[in-house]
Chains A and B, each alone.
Chain A
Amino acid sequence: MFSQVLTISRFTIIESLRNRLLLLTILVIGISFALVEFIGDLAITEHRVTQVAILAAFLRMSAVVMLTLFVVSSTVRELNDKTLEMILAMPIRRGNYYLGKLLGYMYIALLVSVIFSVLLLLYADSEQVLIWTISLFLELILVVALSLVMLFTFNQVPSALTGVFIIYGASRIVTSIFLMAKYPIIAHTSVAQQFMDSFIELLTWLLPDLHRFTQTEWLAYNTAEWSMLLPLMGQTLIYLLFLSFIALFDFYRKNF
């Protein structure tokens, strides 16, 4: 079973290399470097903090977008080319296929995280960059799993991408929205407002707390500590299991 998983993950990695994903990553690095150096020249003070804050936010978003696009488009291509059906016609369990894909995409997420962190070393403390990189890797694992869930649910690139970006965006800001709802400027008295407050609170229970991940503050003000990674790993593991079983639930129900 494990050899099947490893074979599928190996071919996933080979596909990413052939699709020049790493080349795209390096291109993003080049653009980021030019952008950040220009921004550094604009700032009249706090050059390093300004550069690192904008660079970290840009790299984080770029990593999420790149990986989502790659995961969704390559899996849709397998669906449309009937490659997936051919694989499943062999004695390969669907669970093994999913696990192989997940492992392969996790390896790519690790490569993307490491490549992006190299640029950050020019502007931030190395220990903080290392903690940030590990956190980004954990965040990208969740993005990969979410992309697979959306794809198995919708089967179409636009719908899957929209679903991923909506849920990812909501996970990033759900804590802020919850605080806004909990401490409003004017008290919420109507039934509709109270329903919305309850719905938002429900979302905080269902969505991962991504605002704790990959914080720019770590790089800007050197506030990260290794102990901060433990709850992030815990959240990643639990939510990865949750997303994986959702994906498998949909995948096993599919008729090819």
Chain B
Amino acid sequence: MHYNHFLHKDRPVSDVPRSVKILLLSALFLQLMWHSFQEPIVAKADDLPAPLSTRTYVLSSLGEPIAASKFLNLWLQAFDNQPGASISFHQLNYPRLTQWLDTSLELDDRGHYPMLVAARVYGSIKDPDKQRIMTDYVFYKFNENPQKYWRWLAHVVITAKHELKDFDLALKYANALADETAGLDVPYWAKDMKIIVLEDMGQVEAAKILVGALIESKEITDPYELNFLVQKIAVLEEKSLKKRQSVEK
């Protein structure tokens, strides 16, 4: 043998038995044939599955519930983009979506991510039924903890008023926002949203009575809120006058 044979780490291909070479090629051929008989790979979007229990996620994350919550948020957010397929929010199972948002909040009760996506992402599609599912979900969570979730209920008041065009629903949410946050650290513009809604519903007199009652109750101590209410009552007076004048004509 030539000394080159010993210089190289591997032996030459000619040292491999012929049977091994033949069987190798046969095995490769078999794999290609096997693959050709398989069903073609087609992109297929999966439906949103039901979430597992919160405890399952706590255990599988080895006791890292906050990290698990954030990971679930991102996974859910990206669920509409699947391998080779993209599904619209209209195709998502919204009741099941609320279960996922609940799971995320149970894992991290200080997070607001699920409420933001409920109010501004999933609640912004052009499907009134699905929007109502999200607005009702936010309303339900608000009633559990008004101090924590008031800002999201304020968002869905806007959604109900301007996107759903359902003023009764908007008034229901605005009333809850005012009644459930009494004494809590919630800004006046949120508590006084029902005045705006009443005004937009054309119930100027009702709005005027409400503002007057708020001012007379002496419960309002914030000077900016008092100023807003005083200005509002002047605007409502003017609207009421114009309405009376147009009726008389």
Contacts and interface: CB of A to CB of B under 8 A. Distances in A.
Given A53-B67, A56-B67, A180-B55, A44 B121 contact: yes
Interface in A200-242: 210-211, 216-217, 220-221
Interface string B100-115: 0000000010111100
B61 interface: yes
Contacts of A210: 63
A175 B63 CA distance: 9
B235 interface: no
B58 interface: yes
Interface stretch (B68-76, B187-195, B220-228, B236-244): B68-76
B66 interface: yes
Given A173-B58, A221-B110, A44 B70 contact: no
A85 B111 CA distance: 55
Interface string A50-90: 10011011101100000000000000000000000000000
Contact of B62 (A39, A45, A61): A61
Classify chain B's interface size: 20 to 34
A93 interface: no
Interface of A: 39, 42-46, 49-50, 53-54, 56-58, 60-61, 169, 172-173, 175-177, 180, 210-211, 216-217, 220-221
B59 interface: yes
A4 B111 CA distance: 52
Interface in B47-71: 55, 58-59, 61-64, 66-67, 69-71
B186 interface: no
Contacts of A180: 55
A45 B110 CA distance: 13
Interface string B171-202: 00000000000000000000000000000000
A216 to B, nearest CB: 5
A49 B111 CA distance: 9
B41 interface: no
Given A44-B117, A45-B112, A57 B61 contact: yes
Contacts of A60: 64
A175 B61 CA distance: 14
Contact of A176 (B59, B67, B110): B59
B81 to A, nearest CB: 11
B78 interface: yes
B63 A44 contact: no
Given A53-B70, A54-B67, A56-B67, A44 B62 contact: no
Contacts of A175: 63
B158 interface: no
A53 B59 contact: no
